């Protein structure tokens, strides 16, 4: 077994060296570093390296290291990849500490610009965290400060201001100082913005900034445009051009495409990847399923493979270990030259975070690791479905009918199924508005927007069995009303006219009010179910493809760990009294026409085979030109019963039966819907 | 722990000082205007007097009065000469050439108040303070006949903490000819089509969310908001005589101390309430 040496520069400037198998994947190294750091909330971080063209790249955890970093020197920098918009929501102090380390570097290098006063304020919190309370009898305090770099243009005046402010933080613990640091840093306009040089369509030099909210366009430091994620329908690159397709405004009929020129196609691809990752992390509840059978998609099939913010937040809320002790070792900084940050040297700081100075690496790490290592896929609020549920058609294809996933350009990309790091990939596409699993942290305005989008798409998606429509519509109308009500109450903007509305995502607490949840679920109904993903051994709740008849409550129980842990870590008490589990199964022949016209319902039959299982078969006949007609057969199998029933078996059985009847039928969508009945009348 | 420095964006509207300037006689005939209206000098002077009284005597701000300059007919509209945020003052380069020298006296006054002074010297840049809307969390700069992109870029470079976004000013003189801040997170906006369009663009450009209050008259949307000790939310707004319809809308602001201030004469010169002062927050320890 051949081994290779990896050197990772940590955020405090120290180096961490380890050996990995030559063919090890990025994930392996990343986890080793996180283990060394005793970090559990890993999803915000990544390993960066400099490629052969002197550009910073992120190490893809799913791919082999050796296929990514081409040089013989495996040198990485552990860095923040996704900046959490609200750091106070992070569960552990150590996570905040690492985020602070990153931000100190960002500020000191000028990557995160701020005013003189802010530099001083942030510096004072850094000093409080590292050196503790201001000591007036300390010899030459100014010297100590002078050895730290807080700003690119630091001078005596700033150092004096820092000291002055430091005095006022007396009594503040390091953890609290970190919190204050982050509270101020997060408000800075460039916080979490990843910048890329580009040119606009007129050849003017601009910067494109990718962040949690969307894509920003800067001319120097001036923000000249902003495209929030909900407004972006498609992100693509081709050669050295980067394109985004924007949704039409209310008065517009057509989508518009905005193009930018990058330096070369590597840069375009890099920008594209960053967009895909940021969108996925901040917007989706679960990452898109791995690319398979996307034969209509050209070029890179790169998708974000990690957990999303929604997922990591839930996982974070389950962290149940005592706060890890860690040493504040910023004093041992050496150059973080990986990304051009200046050389920083600090005199030895001695204080820790008030606990035992030695690193306690293994406190509960065993159980903790088990928790985190699991890929807990959260569909909006609940835990992953069973395995064995049939694989789903990529939701993209379901909803993107409007787009007709065929690129207009000539096929220049020769590599189809090649791994996405292949540099020769000249183009790729990504449709971010995979409306299927939009993060529940949107604000109501966005829901309204997405509701609009759903409305538009409704005409395209397969209509449900006849017994439903009335209900469905009622819910929709109700939902729209709810949303509108909220919007009005906040007395915000009017419907879109020329420009896109403000679709910004203010992340909220993961504990949502039931009302919003309900809205969210209703939203989901339009697009059927999300990527049903990997396995948990227990059947659990999934959110639904149709509006719940009865309210459901957020259940953050992770039963998946019940087998390993004696206690279940929950943050909310489930109020479920009885449960009825419904598995809805829809299958339809693919509609290759794609003209989006809803079919005319010709016949419908209801066949009941068992008391547990109801199958509704709908034949939808579409009249085409030339007197031809096309019939689509839709089967909706609803399996109801108490939780005692093995739903999966029943489902598998039902699918088998359906296939016997129609051998060329394929499963396009599987949804697990849980209805709960509350004993109380209250909500 | 809050202490003296509460950090970024503390206390929107907590002003301590105001800089104003006297009304020159040349205002009546020579001040720039879009209409052909005749201005009553005495009327302009008395309403300005009342304005300054409200700021100083009634609200307790420390008012610095700069002397009028006959060679600068528009000098009363001091807002255009500087943009102040926190402890930094950007001395502008007004879009109208006849107004360039208005900045000299302003610069001196702000220096006296110990603010950090940044000057806009680039000859390709123009900026009127009336095109700059600071919401407490970010800046919007209206690109108008008086303010161009270069000017906006310099402003962005000056106030590094904040996002600075450009919005078009399709009609009217300045961005604040049809909008202003009515409170923390509250935008007052006129009803005209271009006003509404600009608001939508502001919302699109922002990561934050704002409430809005729509006024039937565009110019009525220009009010002066302050948050003062012992007084709380204060809003100087136009009178019922000037805008009878709009005045009823202000009454919706239940938490505000509403102070009607007449601006009738100066309105003929496209002047509005925010135009006549530069408000500053000076901390006691500076």
B-chain residues near A200 (CB < 8 A): none
Spatial CA neighbour of B235 closest among B191, B272, B181, B271:
B181
Flag if A490 and B138 touch (Cβ within 8 Å). no
* Cβ contacts of A410 within 8 Å, gap of 6 or more: none
Flag if B200 and A497 touch (Cβ within 8 Å). yes
Q: What is the mean pLDDT of residues A426-448?
A: 53
pLDDT of residue A345: 27
Q: A643, A501 in Cβ contact below 8 A?
A: no
Of A184, A225, A496, the CB nearest to B8: A184
Q: Which two tokens stand for residue A134?
A: 């201001």
Q: Please state which of the ranges A240-244, A628-632, A664-668 shows the lowest mean pLDDT.
A: A628-632
Answer left, alpha or beta for residue A547, where phi above 0 means left and psi between -120 and 50 means alpha.
Answer: beta
More confident residue, A337 or A636: A636
Confidence band, pLDDT 50/70/90 cuts, at residue A1:
confident
pLDDT at B194 over 90: yes
Query: B150 to chain A, minimum CA–CA distance in Å?
Result: 9
Q: What is the mean pLDDT of residues B243-247?
A: 94
Flag if B88 and A115 touch (Cβ within 8 Å). yes
Flag if A115 and B213 touch (Cβ within 8 Å). no
What's the full length of chain B, in residues?
286
Confidence band, pLDDT 50/70/90 cuts, at residue B206:
very high
Q: Which two tokens stand for residue A85?
A: 């918009």
Confidence band, pLDDT 50/70/90 cuts, at residue A647:
low
CATH 1.20.80.10 at A100-186, yes or no:
yes
Flag if A445 and B212 touch (Cβ within 8 Å). no
Confidence band, pLDDT 50/70/90 cuts, at residue A121:
very high
More confident residue, A135 or B121: B121
The radius of gyration computed from the CA coordinates of chain B, to the nearest angstrom, equals 17
pLDDT of residue A39: 94
Of B156, B199, B207, the CB nearest to A220: B156
Of B153, B204, B208, the CB nearest to A499: B204
A vs B, Cβ pairs < 8 A, gives: 120
pLDDT in tens, A596-614: 344 444 444 444 344 455 6
Provide CATH code, domain A194-283. Answer: 2.30.29.30
Q: Which residue in chain B is spatially nearest to A85 when comparing CA positions?
A: B207
Q: Is A172 helix (H, G, I), strand (E, B) or coil?
A: coil
Q: What is the mean pLDDT of residues A384-397?
A: 34
Q: Which residue in chain A is spatially nearest to B202 when comparing CA positions?
A: A502
Of A115, A490, A493, the CB nearest to B161: A115
pLDDT of residue A656: 73
Backbone angles phi, psi at A288, to 5 degrees: -65, 150
Query: B215 to chain A, minimum CA–CA distance in Å?
Result: 13
Enter the ipTM.
Answer: 0.91
Flag if B204 and A171 touch (Cβ within 8 Å). no
pLDDT at A555 over 60: no
Helix (H) and strand (E) counts in chain B? 7, 15
pLDDT in tens, B24-78: 999 988 888 888 888 999 999 999 999 999 999 999 999 999 999 999 999 999 9
pLDDT at A323 over 70: yes
Q: What is the mean pLDDT of residues A355-380?
A: 30
Return binding residues of B for substrate.
Answer: 32, 74, 79-80, 99, 146, 269
pLDDT in tens, A448-461: 333 333 333 333 23
pLDDT of residue B53: 96
pLDDT in tens, B142-168: 999 999 999 999 999 999 999 999 999
At which residue do the structure tokens 């380390």 appear? A101
Q: Which residue in chain B is spatially nearest to A180 when comparing CA positions?
A: B7
Flag if B1 and A228 touch (Cβ within 8 Å). no
pLDDT at A134 over 80: yes
Architecture of domain A3-86: Roll (3.10)
pLDDT of residue A152: 81
Q: A419, A574 in Cβ contact below 8 A?
A: no
Confidence band, pLDDT 50/70/90 cuts, at residue A635:
low
Q: Please state which of the ranges A67-76, A367-376, B260-269 shows the lowest mean pLDDT.
A: A367-376
Output the average pLDDT for chain B: 93
B-chain residues near A220 (CB < 8 A): 153, 156-157
A-chain residues near B163 (CB < 8 A): 189, 223
B-chain residues near A88 (CB < 8 A): none
More confident residue, A253 or B103: B103
Query: B42 to chain A, minimum CA–CA distance in Å?
Result: 41
* Cβ contacts of A1 within 8 Å, gap of 6 or more: A21
Distance, in Å, from the CA atom of B174 to the CA atom of B163, rounded to the nearest integer, reads 20
Q: Please state which of the ranges A354-363, A429-438, B148-157 shows the lowest mean pLDDT.
A: A354-363
Query: A431 to chain B, minimum CA–CA distance in Å?
Result: 21
pLDDT at A292 over 70: no
What is the helix (H) or strand (E) element at residue B156, kind and residue range? helix B149-158
Indicate which residue of B174, B233, B237, B256 is catalytic: B174
Q: Work out the number of other CB atoms within 10 angstroms of the CB of residue B94.
A: 24
Sheet with B278-280, side-by-side order of all strands: B62-66, B17-21, B278-280
Answer left, alpha or beta for residue A171, where phi above 0 means left and psi between -120 and 50 means alpha.
Answer: left
How far is CA A379 from its chain centroid? 12
Helix (H) and strand (E) counts in chain A? 14, 18
Q: Is A162 helix (H, G, I), strand (E, B) or coil?
A: helix
Distance, in Å, from the CA atom of A137 to the CA atom of B35, rounded to the nearest integer, reads 68
Q: Please state which of the ranges A42-56, A364-378, B96-110, B221-235 shows the lowest mean pLDDT.
A: A364-378
Q: A346, A148 in Cβ contact below 8 A?
A: yes
Interface of A with B (CB under 8 A): 113-118, 121, 165, 168-169, 171-172, 180, 183-184, 187-189, 213, 219-226, 228, 443, 445, 490-494, 496-504, 506
A-chain residues near B206 (CB < 8 A): 226, 502, 504
Catalytic annotation present for B85 = no
Output the average pLDDT for chain A: 64
Q: Please state which of the ranges A135-144, A188-197, B160-169, B237-246 shows the lowest mean pLDDT.
A: A135-144
pLDDT of residue A637: 62
Q: Which residue in chain B is spatially nearest to A495 when comparing CA positions?
A: B200
Confidence band, pLDDT 50/70/90 cuts, at residue A678:
very low
Catalytic annotation present for B275 = yes
Distance, in Å, from the CA atom of A185 to the CA atom of A193, rounded to the nearest integer, reads 12
Q: What is the mean pLDDT of residues A227-246?
A: 93
Q: B179, B190 in Cβ contact below 8 A?
A: yes
Flag if A497 and B197 touch (Cβ within 8 Å). yes
Flag if A497 and B152 touch (Cβ within 8 Å). no
B-chain residues near A179 (CB < 8 A): none
Residue of A124, A221, A227 to mutate, interface with B, max B Cβ within 10 Å = A221
Q: Which residue in chain B is spatially nearest to A445 when comparing CA positions?
A: B209
Residue of A163, A178, A222, A246 to mutate, interface with B, max B Cβ within 10 Å = A222
pLDDT at A409 over 90: no
Distance, in Å, from the CA atom of A347 to the CA atom of A356, rounded to the nearest integer, reads 21
Q: What is the mean pLDDT of residues A658-663?
A: 69
Q: Helix A514-525 vs helix A469-489: angle between axes, to the nearest 10 degrees?
A: 130
pLDDT of residue A285: 75
Query: A97 to chain B, minimum CA–CA distance in Å?
Result: 19
pLDDT at A674 over 90: no
Between the alpha carbon of residue A151 and those of residues A154, A156, A186, A468, A590, the distances in Å are 5, 12, 17, 62, 59
Q: Structural domain boundaries of chain A?
A: 3-86, 100-186, 194-283, 604-641+648-656
pLDDT of residue A644: 52
Of A189, A491, A498, the CB nearest to B161: A189
- Fold adopted by B12-280: 3.75.10
Of A224, A494, A502, the CB nearest to B206: A502
pLDDT at A549 over 80: no
pLDDT at A509 over 90: no
Residue of A160, A167, A188, A189 to mutate, interface with B, max B Cβ within 10 Å = A189
More confident residue, A296 or A347: A296
Q: Which two tokens stand for residue A671?
A: 């949804």
Flag if B153 and A498 touch (Cβ within 8 Å). no
Query: A176 to chain B, minimum CA–CA distance in Å?
Result: 11
Backbone angles phi, psi at A637, to 5 degrees: -110, 120
The 10 Å CB-count burial string (b at 16+, else e) for A14-40 is eebebebeeebbbbbbbbbbbbebbbb
B-chain residues near A205 (CB < 8 A): none
pLDDT at A438 over 80: no
Flag if B165 and A224 touch (Cβ within 8 Å). yes
Of A188, A222, A501, the CB nearest to B204: A501
More confident residue, B133 or A456: B133
Q: Structural domain boundaries of chain B?
A: 12-280
More confident residue, B246 or A446: B246
Task: Give the per-residue SS3 of A96-140.
Answer: HHHHHHHHHHHHHHCCCCCCHHHHHHHHHHHHHHHHCCCCCCCCC
Flag if A121 and B8 touch (Cβ within 8 Å). yes
The pTM (predicted TM-score) of the whole model is 0.66
Of A117, A169, A496, the CB nearest to B1: A169
Indicate which residue of B75, B85, B275, B276 is catalytic: B275
Q: Please state which of the ranges A326-335, A389-398, B168-177 shows the lowest mean pLDDT.
A: A389-398
Q: Which residue in chain A is spatially nearest to B286 when comparing CA positions?
A: A161
């Amino acid at each position: 077994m051949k081994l290779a040496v990896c050197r990772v520069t940590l955020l405090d400037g120290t180096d961490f060296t380890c050996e990995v198998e030559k063919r090890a994947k990025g994930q392996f190294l990343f986890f080793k570093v996180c283990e060394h750091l005793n970090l559990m909330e890993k999803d915000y971080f990544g390993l960066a390296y400099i490629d052969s063209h002197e550009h910073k790249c992120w190490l893809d955890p799913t791919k082999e290291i050796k296929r990514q970093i081409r040089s013989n020197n495996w040198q990485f920098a552990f860095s923040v990849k996704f900046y959490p918009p609200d750091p106070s929501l992070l569960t552990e102090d150590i996570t905040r500490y690492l985020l602070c380390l990153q931000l100190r570097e960002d500020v000191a290098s000028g990557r995160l610009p701020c005013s003189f006063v802010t530099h001083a304020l942030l510096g004072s919190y850094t000093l409080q965290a590292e050196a503790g309370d201001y000591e007036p009898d300390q010899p030459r305090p100014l010297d100590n400060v002078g050895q730290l770099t807080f700003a690119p243009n630091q001078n005596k005046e700033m150092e004096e201001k820092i000291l002055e402010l430091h005095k006022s933080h007396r009594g503040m613990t390091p953890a609290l100082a970190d919190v204050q640091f982050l509270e101020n840093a997060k408000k800075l306009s460039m916080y979490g913005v990843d910048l890329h040089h580009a040119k606009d369509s007129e050849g003017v030099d601009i910067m494109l900034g990718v962040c949690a909210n969307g894509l920003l366009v800067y001319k120097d430091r001036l923000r000249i445009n902003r495209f929030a994620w909900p407004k972006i329908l498609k992100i693509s690159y081709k050669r050295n051009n980067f394109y985004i397709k924007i949704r039409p405004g209310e008065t517009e009929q057509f989508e518009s495409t905005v193009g930018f020129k990058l330096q070369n196609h590597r840069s375009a691809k890099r920008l594209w990847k960053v967009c895909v990752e940021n969108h996925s992390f901040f917007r989706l509840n679960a990452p898109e399923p791995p690319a398979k059978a996307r034969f209509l998609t050209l070029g890179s099939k790169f998708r974000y493979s990690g957990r999303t913010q929604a997922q990591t937040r839930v996982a974070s809320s389950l962290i149940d270990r005592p706060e890890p002790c860690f040493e504040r070792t910023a004093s041992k900084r050496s150059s973080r030259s990986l990304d051009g940050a200046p050389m920083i040297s600090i005199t030895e700081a001695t204080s820790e975070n008030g606990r035992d100075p030695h690193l306690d690496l293994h406190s509960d790490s065993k159980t903790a690791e088990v928790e985190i290592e699991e890929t807990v896929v959260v569909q909006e609020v609940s835990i992953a479905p069973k395995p064995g549920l049939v694989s789903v058609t990529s939701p993209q294809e379901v909803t993107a009918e409007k787009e007709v996933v065929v690129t207009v350009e000539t096929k220049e990309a020769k590599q189809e199924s090649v791994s996405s790091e292949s540099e020769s990939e000249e183009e790729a596409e990504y449709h971010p508005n995979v409306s299927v699993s939009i993060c529940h942290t949107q604000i109501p305005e966005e829901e309204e927007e997405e509701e609009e989008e759903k409305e538009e798409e409704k005409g395209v998606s397969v209509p449900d069995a006849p017994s439903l429509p009335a209900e469905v519509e009622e819910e929709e109308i109700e939902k729209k009303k709810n949303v509108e009500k909220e919007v009005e109450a906040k007395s915000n903007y009017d419907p879109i006219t020329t420009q896109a509305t403000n679709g910004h995502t203010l992340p909220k607490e993961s504990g949502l009010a039931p009302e919003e949840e309900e809205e969210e679920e209703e939203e989901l109904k339009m697009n059927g179910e999300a990527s049903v993903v990997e396995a948990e051994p227990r059947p659990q709740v999934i959110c639904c493809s149709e509006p719940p008849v009865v309210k459901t409550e957020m259940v953050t129980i992770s039963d998946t760990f019940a087998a390993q842990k004696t206690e279940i870590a929950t943050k909310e008490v489930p109020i479920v009294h009885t449960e009825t589990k419904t598995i809805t199964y829809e299958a339809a022949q693919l509609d290759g026409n794609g003209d989006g016209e809803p079919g005319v319902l010709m016949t419908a039959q209801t066949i009941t085979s068992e008391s547990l299982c109801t199958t509704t078969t709908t034949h939808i006949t579409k009249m085409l030109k030339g007197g031809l007609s096309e019939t689509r057969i839709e089967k909706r199998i609803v399996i109801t019963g108490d939780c005692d029933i093995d739903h999966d078996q029943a489902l598998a059985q039902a699918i088998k039966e359906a296939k016997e009847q129609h051998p060329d039928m394929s499963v396009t969508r599987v949804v697990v819907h849980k209805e709960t009945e509350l004993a109380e009348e209250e909500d | 722990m809050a202490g003296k420095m509460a950090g970024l964006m503390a206390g929107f509207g907590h002003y301590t000082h105001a800089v104003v300037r006297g009304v020159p006689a040349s205002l009546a005939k020579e001040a720039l205007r879009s209409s052909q209206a005749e201005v009553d000098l005495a009327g302009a002077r008395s309403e300005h007097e009342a304005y300054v009284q409200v700021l100083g005597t009634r609200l307790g701000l420390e008012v610095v009065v700069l002397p009028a300059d006959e060679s600068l007919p528009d000098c009363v509209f001091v807002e255009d000469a500087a943009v102040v945020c926190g402890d930094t003052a950007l001395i502008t380069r007004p879009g109208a050439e006849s107004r360039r020298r208005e900045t000299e006296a302003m610069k001196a006054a702000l220096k006296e108040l110990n603010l950090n002074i940044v000057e806009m010297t680039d000859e390709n840049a123009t900026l009127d303070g009336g095109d700059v809307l600071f919401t407490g969390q970010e800046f919007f700069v209206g690109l108008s006949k008086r303010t161009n992109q270069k000017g906006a870029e310099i402003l962005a470079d000056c106030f590094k903490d904040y996002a600075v976004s450009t919005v078009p000013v399709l009609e009217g003189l300045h961005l604040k000819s049809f909008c202003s801040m009515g409170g923390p997170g509250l935008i007052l906006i006129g009803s005209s089509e271009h006003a509404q369009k600009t608001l939508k663009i502001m919302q699109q450009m922002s990561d934050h969310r704002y409430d809005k209050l729509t006024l039937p008259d565009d110019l009525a949307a220009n009010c002066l908001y302050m948050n003062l000790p012992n007084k709380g939310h204060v809003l100087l707004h136009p009178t019922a005589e000037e805008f009878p319809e709009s005045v009823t809308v202000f009454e919706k602001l239940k938490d505000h101390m509403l102070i009607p201030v007449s601006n009738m004469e100066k309105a003929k010169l496209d002047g509005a309430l925010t135009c006549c002062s530069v408000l500053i927050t000076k901390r006691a320890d500076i």
